[in-house]
Structure 1
């Protein structure tokens, strides 16, 4: 396949360039040492301000914003980083066409922002890169069809009407159906290469999509064998992602040969009963050969979220693990304050975990085409839930070791519910970014302003933490 040959040659260029986390051309001295301890807000514009807040009954702002789903260093300039939006402002909604999402800006195009930090800690936007199909047309954030991982989410406008192929005409299943988009992305993971291209992982397929420097798709990886767009494939088990909890983090090894993705939460493997657990999966994809490998990660609590991953070395990575709580209560007010909110960054080492391909098969250990490695007829998710991690270890399957690097609540009194971006600046400085959800929230399907406490509107904020990232 021509695209595979092209991709392999591109990777070779990246390897020859010798990319490492410290290879950027501008010194970090001058912005990390003087960065404000309380963090620095990212700029935003207003997408719309005509909707009525479901709690206050007053107009509120939907902001753009939203640059918090992932974060990565600009490998060519040390005081710059890229940040990713997800599918756009949205909220759970149950309308006349089934359960789904309200998209108050249904035409929103997911995008990558390039930001710069000056010597005083101020963050400015350098440019915004809109994501596009291979033909150059803009993608949307609308859900995929079921053949490519869609979970039946119906997209609605803010007024409760369905998003249609032609909104000027009545709904008709045949001639004017509900609008879905097989190029639509709910982006959550981001990699920036030295050649200016990007890889984005998402929560829909999950898909991992390669974009050129202008945001045009040039390659794709997912678990769907019949998708002709694919350069390589993920193991089929990843198609069992939990709705809205797909491949939340994406990194690349310093030599730019291997993508490393982490799922947000436990897979629905084989069904929803398995998803409320503490087992998540890490997958590596060699960009030269397409070979994949899987490892397990053990969360501190069931249904936590692994929200980003960033490379330190070929085998060592930083991983976000968080809950969904607000330190100060968020939209729920003071009564919902959670002083023990978990917003942690861990260091992991893949060499300490068991590569799942190394497990020998037997009468009780088999590999299923759809559900992956199975023990006694149970998926790994089921086996760990039923028998515990010690029993899994007795079978030779161990998760990666992890060590706490930063507790953001203790370090910064971190007020946000979501912590989704990591920027490895150097061996002793880490950037952390929250997702502000475009400053929107919803209660029982009604949109409202997203607050951190009784008065403070959530916004994207960069924090820079001094820590021993390498563990030396």
Structure 2
């Protein structure tokens, strides 16, 4: 989600005190939902891709930004920025596929930003990230029923706002969009395989069908896949008009039948002003969900990863929630980032989480290049890749641990 409220403030991590919380009663969902949780996670790896990293010999970008400098960076750009990471797929060899979202914040200014899946390799020993390549998303077979920005049918940020991704067994990708919201199905070369699939009864303002009941940039921010690969769970970032404040619809989509099942679960935000950043499955019933406030730097207060259980054991009609990690309070005893004993991830948008092993998560920020400056005031944020060690095992389905 591109919500580009600019805040020019920094964060002082050295002033924070390190307090280790007790482990949770159980990692399988029997903790005091919404209050208990795991203890303080530990930073085990940090690497960064510099903000000003571009796809070589690509198309110009940023012309619609009006030439206004942001954080010392003046558009337009000769090439496409490698930025805005809003979804991640683990490749099993230390590399990841990540998607760039709609570009510069909205439909109107992102018509020259090409939607792309990047192939990246973080190296935690050197604290760098290698760009190994990538594929552009296209619609050569004309499945999109409305007019596209480019005549060559390369998809741009004015066509879709892609925010979540899953790869299925045949190597194709399912991607969640916010403008519909739509589900988009691409082959391994990035070619759209079928018409965009809308969510019944829900429309964003950018949806050409009209009658919106969802705010802009509040579509499919997260999307999980079941362990057997038969079901997708796309999660809306915003509350549908008429639903209780701060409730998000967690939908179930059958990949076998290619349709929504009609089952909808409810995720409750801690504060209606919060947003979710990503959602992935742990097993058939439990999911990891990033929930965050809209602050960055010194104004960033709430950035957490929850375990959400759709079994609703306390029968309140909402998914049960347990805190897995507080991203504003991560132990750094080895000083992998700096001299402080506490590491914070103070970014406005944190939109990627992936299970690396049963006690280790990978987390990546969306840097909203060039607009976000959560790490250093006046400087565009890098894309930071971190790994964190949890105090408890996830007891994840073994198919997610490969």
Matched position secondary structure for 2:194: strand
1:214 correspondence with 2:214:
no
Q: Which SS does the other structure have where 2:284 is aligned?
A: coil
Cα distance change of structure 1 residues 67 and 237 upon mapping to structure 2, 3 Å threshold: closer
Structure 2 matches for 1:95-106, cutoff 5 A?
Answer: 101-103=108-110, 106=111
Aligned to 2:382: 459
Distance in 2, matches of 1:73 and 1:61, equals 32
Deviations 1:250-270 (A, max 9, x none): 11111110001111121134x
Structure 1 residue matching 2:311: 3-state secondary structure = helix
Higher relative contact order, chain-length normalized (CA < 8 Å, sep 6+): 2
Shift of the 71–244 alpha-carbon distance from structure 1 to 2, 3 Å rule, reads same
Tell me, yes or no, if structure 1 residue 79 matches structure 2 residue 94. yes
Other-structure match for 1:421: 352
**Larger helix fraction of residues:** 1
Matches within 5 A, 1:73-472: 73-74=90-91, 77-90=92-105, 101-103=108-110, 106-118=111-123, 120=125, 121-135=127-141, 184-220=159-195, 222-223=197-198, 234-237=199-202, 240-269=213-242, 277-289=245-257, 290=259, 291-326=261-296, 328=297, 337-338=298-299, 341-352=301-312, 398-411=317-330, 412-440=343-371, 450=373, 452-467=375-390, 468=392, 470=394
Q: What is the distance in 1 between the residues matched to 2:71 and 2:227?
A: 49
1:375 — aligned with what? Answer: none
Q: How does 1:29-40 map to 2 (within 5 A)?
A: 36-37=45-46, 39-40=47-48
SS of aligned partner of 2:387: strand
Answer whether contact 1:259 1:287 (CA < 8 A) is retained: yes
Alpha-carbon spacing, 1:314–1:436, altered in 2? closer, same or farther (3 Å): same
Change (3 A) 1:165 1:434: closer
Report the Cα distance in structure 2 between the residues aligned to 1:60 and 1:278, rounded to whole angstroms: 36
TM-score under structure 2 length normalisation: 0.69
Compute the displacement of 1:463 (Å): 1.1
Distance 1:293 1:129, change over 3 A: same
CA–CA distance in 1 between the matches of 2:158 and 2:377?
A: 39
- Kindly state the Cα deviation for residue 303 of structure 1 after the two structures are TM-superposed: 2.5
Query: What TM-score, normalized to structure 1?
Result: 0.60
What CA RMSD, in Å, does the superposition of the two structures yield over aligned residues? Answer: 3.5
Larger CA Rg, structure 1 vs 2: 1
Task: Confirm or deny: 8 A CA contact 1:67 1:113 kept in the other structure.
Answer: no
Q: 3-state SS of the aligned residue for 1:235?
A: coil
Q: Aligned equivalents of 1:242 and 1:113: distance in 2? A: 28
CA distance in 2, matches of 1:345, 1:287: 27
- Structure 1 residue 212, shift from structure 2 partner: 0.3
Q: 5+ residue gaps in structure 2?
A: 1-41, 205-212, 331-342, 397-402
Distance 1:72 1:87 in 2: 18
Cα gap change, 1:42/1:422 in structure 2, threshold over 3 Å: closer, same or farther? Answer: farther
Alignment length, in residue pairs?
319
Structure 1 residues 469 and 268: CA distance shift in structure 2, 3 A: farther
C-alpha distance in 2 between matches for 1:107 and 1:56: 21
Alpha-carbon distance in structure 1 between the residues aligned to 2:369 and 2:85: 9
SS of residue paired to 2:369: helix
State the alpha-carbon separation in 2 of the partners of residues 181 and 293 from structure 1.
32
Q: Offset of 1:400 from its aligned partner?
A: 0.5
Compute the displacement of 1:422 (Å).
1.0
Tell me by how many angstroms 1:79 deviates. 0.7
